């Protein structure tokens, strides 16, 4: 089963967190290490980090099909900072990996315990819809 683990932790307009450089480095080292262990266990499908929300755009098709681009988002909107896709045997294993990511260190090395959204990734549209 494939699951996507999403870090929806950023807010509109946010850029690089204002943490001391060594704390940012420790956070990134933790994430790279997590990726490495998931690669070694054969569970990592992909891991991606996204540009900060200050660069996010919302696009809609206009009447002629041309893109209409907007960069204004509601304050309540959550922004995806990054995600992992993992191939695991059970949903519980996906939750265990999510908890590891959740405990990534923040300022002063304290675990962030950030929320990680866990969703199953489908292999295709439900058959009844095709």
Q: Work out whether 103 is an interface residue with another protein (CB under 8 A).
A: yes
Q: Figure out which of the listed residues 49, 90, 109, 110 binds another protein, where binding follows CB under 8 A.
A: 49
Q: Figure out which of the listed residues 40, 42, 55, 89 binds another protein, where binding follows CB under 8 A.
A: 55
Q: How far apart are CA 111 and CA 104, in angstroms?
A: 5
DSSP symbol at 55: G
DSSP annotation string for 73-110: --TT--B--EEEEEE-SSHHHHHHHHHHHHT-B-GGG-
Give min distance, CB of 59 to another protein, in A.
4
Q: Coil, strand or helix: which one is 11?
A: coil
Q: Work out whether 96 is an interface residue with another protein (CB under 8 A).
A: yes
Residue numbers of the site for another protein (CB under 8 A)?
Answer: 2, 4-6, 16, 21, 24-25, 28-29, 31-32, 46, 48-51, 55-62, 65-69, 74, 76-78, 80, 85, 91-92, 95-96, 98-100, 102-103, 111, 113-122, 124-125, 128-130
């Amino acid at each position: 089963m494939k699951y996507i683990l999403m870090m929806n932790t950023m807010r509109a307009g946010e850029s690089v967190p204002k943490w001391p450089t060594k704390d940012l480095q420790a956070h990134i080292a933790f994430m790279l290490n997590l990726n490495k262990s998931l690669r070694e266990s054969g569970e990592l499908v992909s891991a991606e980090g996204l540009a900060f929300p200050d660069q996010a755009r919302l696009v809609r098709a206009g009447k002629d099909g041309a893109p209409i681009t907007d960069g204004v988002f509601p304050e309540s909107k959550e922004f995806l900072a990054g995600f992992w896709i993992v191939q695991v045997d059970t949903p519980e294993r996906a939750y265990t990996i999510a908890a590891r990511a959740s405990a990534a260190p923040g300022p002063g090395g304290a675990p962030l315990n950030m929320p990680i959204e866990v969703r199953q990734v489908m292999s295709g549209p439900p058959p009844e819809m095709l």
